[in-house]
C-alpha cells in the first residue's frame, strides 16, 4: 500500500479510501466486518462514511456497523483514519439537517455514539449550506476541535468558490479550515477540473473522488452486459449515453492488458491533487482487485489517449472557455 498526506496536513492516509455506503443496504454486518478487516490487512487505513448512510433516516446504520467493528478491539480504531459527514437529514425536525451550530453539535455527538469512538478524524460537511453564515459554522467546528471530538474538517460537493470562501473565513479566525474536498470525479465526470481542483491546489486541500468508476460504467460495463450481468435502469441509461466512448475505452484497456476499473483508478491517482479515490467494494474480491490500480503507471501517451476518449472541460477556468 502507498500512503500520502491528506492535503496540507501531516496526516498520512492510504492512496485508496474504503467507502462504506454499501454497508447495511448491500453488505450485511458479517460481510462488512470481513471487508474492513481485509482492508486493514492490505494497508487501507482510510475509511469514509456518513451519518445518513444505511437508508434509514436517523438510524445511521452504516456508522453503527463500523462502531461495532471498532468495538471488537484488536487495534481496529487505532489503525483507522475515520471520516464521516454532517448535513443530511437525521430526523423530521426543522433543525435536523444542514449546518446550523445546533445540528453540527447534535450530529457529531450522535456519530460518535454510533461509531463507538471518542473522536472523528475527518469531519466533512456533506454539502454547502447557503443559509448558515461561515462564522456560525466555523465557531461550531472550533468548539468540536477544542473538545477533542474532531481533528480535521473537510468538505464534500463544494464549488471552488465555496472552498475559497470557507478557508478565507477560517483564516480570519486563525483556524485551519478545510483540509479536504470530496467530489464527484472520474473519466466521464470531469467538471471539477474547471475550478474545484484549482481551488484545492491553491488552498492545500486533498481531493477525495467519489464514484471513481462512474457508478460502475467504467468497470467494464459493456463486457459485463454481454456476459448477462443485470444492471439497474440508471446505470443502463448511463451506459447507452457513453456507449461509443466505453467501446473505445474497453478495447484500449484490453490492448493495455489491464482491467477498465483499475485504469480508471490509476488515472485519478496520477493527479497530484488527488489524495485517495473512494472504492466501495461489496465483496472481498472487489477490494483486493482495486489494489492493482496502485501498480499501473500511465504514460503521457496513455493519458493523452484517455483525454481523446473522455475529453474533459479543456483544463481549468477561465482558459477552458476563454482566450
User: β-strands 12-14, 3-5: how paired?
Assistant: antiparallel
* Banded model confidence at residue 233, pLDDT cuts 50, 70, 90: confident
The one-character DSSP state at 227 is: T
Q: Give the pLDDT confidence score for residue 226 in this predicted structure.
A: 61
Per CATH, the architecture of 3-215+259-298 is what? Alpha-Beta Barrel (3.20)
Handedness of CA 7, 12, 17, 20 (dihedral sign): negative
pTM of the model as a whole? 0.95
- Digit-coded pLDDT (tens) for 102-126: 999 999 999 999 999 999 999 999 9
Catalytic residue among 3, 53, 87, 185: 53
Give the sheet arrangement for strand 46-48, strand by strand.
Answer: 206-210, 178-184, 150-156, 120-125, 81-86, 46-48, 17-19, 278-279
* Banded model confidence at residue 225, pLDDT cuts 50, 70, 90: low
pLDDT at 158 over 60: yes
Q: Give the pLDDT confidence score for residue 230 in this predicted structure.
A: 55
Contact between 298 and 258 (Cβ < 8 Å): no
* Lowest-confidence segment of 83-92, 229-238, 262-271, 272-281 by average pLDDT: 229-238
Cα angle value 121/126/129 (rounded, 5°)? 125
Q: Give the pLDDT confidence score for residue 76 in this predicted structure.
A: 98
Any catalytic annotation for residue 53? yes
* Lowest-confidence segment of 14-28, 109-123, 136-150, 218-232 by average pLDDT: 218-232
* Banded model confidence at residue 258, pLDDT cuts 50, 70, 90: very high
The one-character DSSP state at 248 is: H
- CA-nearest of 54, 153, 149, 39 to 105 is 149
Per-residue b or e along 120-143, where b marks 16 or more CB atoms closer than 10 Å to that residue's CB: bbbbbbbbbbeebebeebbebbbe
Q: Give the pLDDT confidence score for residue 23 in this predicted structure.
A: 95
Amino acid at each position: 500500500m502507498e500512503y500520502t498526506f491528506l492535503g496540507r496536513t501531516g496526516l498520512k492516509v492510504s492512496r485508496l479510501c474504503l467507502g462504506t455506503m454499501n454497508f447495511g443496504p448491500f453488505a450485511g454486518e458479517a460481510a462488512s466486518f470481513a471487508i474492513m478487516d481485509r482492508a486493514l490487512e492490505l494497508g487501507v487505513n482510510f475509511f469514509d462514511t456518513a451519518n445518513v448512510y444505511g437508508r434509514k433516516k436517523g438510524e445511521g446504520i452504516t456508522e453503527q456497523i463500523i462502531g461495532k467493528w471498532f468495538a471488537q478491539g484488536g487495534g481496529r480504531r487505532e489503525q483507522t483514519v475515520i471520516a464521516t459527514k454532517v448535513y443530511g437529514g437525521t430526523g423530521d425536525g426543522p433543525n435536523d439537517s444542514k449546518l446550523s451550530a445546533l445540528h453540527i453539535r447534535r450530529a457529531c455527538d450522535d456519530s460518535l455514539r454510533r461509531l463507538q469512538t471518542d473522536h472523528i478524524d475527518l469531519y466533512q460537511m456533506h454539502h454547502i449550506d447557503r443559509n448558515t453564515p461561515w462564522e456560525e459554522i466555523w465557531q461550531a467546528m472550533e468548539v468540536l476541535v477544542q473538545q477533542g471530538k474532531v481533528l480535521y474538517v473537510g468538505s464534500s460537493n463544494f464549488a471552488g468558490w465555496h472552498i475559497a470562501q470557507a478557508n478565507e473565513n477560517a483564516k480570519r479566525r486563525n483556524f485551519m479550515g478545510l483540509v479536504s474536498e470530496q467530489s464527484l470525479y472520474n473519466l466521464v465526470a470531469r467538471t471539477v477540473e474547471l475550478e474545484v481542483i484549482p481551488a484545492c491546489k491553491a488552498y492545500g486541500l486533498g481531493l477525495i473522488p467519489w464514484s471513481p468508476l462512474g457508478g460502475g460504467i467504467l468497470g467494464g460495463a459493456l463486457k459485463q452486459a454481454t456476459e448477462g450481468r443485470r444492471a439497474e435502469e440508471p446505470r443502463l441509461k448511463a451506459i447507452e449515453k457513453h456507449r461509443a466512448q466505453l467501446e473505445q475505452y474497453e478495447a484500449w484497456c484490453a490492448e493495455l492488458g489491464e482491467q477498465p476499473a483499475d485504469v480508471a483508478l490509476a488515472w485519478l491517482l496520477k493527479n497530484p491533487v488527488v489524495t485517495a479515490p473512494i472504492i466501495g467494494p461489496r465483496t472481498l474480491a472487489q477490494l483486493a482487485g482495486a489494489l492493482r490500480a496502485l501498480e499501473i503507471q500511465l504514460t503521457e501517451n496513455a493519458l493523452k489517449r484517455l483525454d481523446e476518449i473522455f475529453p474533459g472541460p479543456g483544463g481549468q477556468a477561465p482558459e477552458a472557455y476563454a482566450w
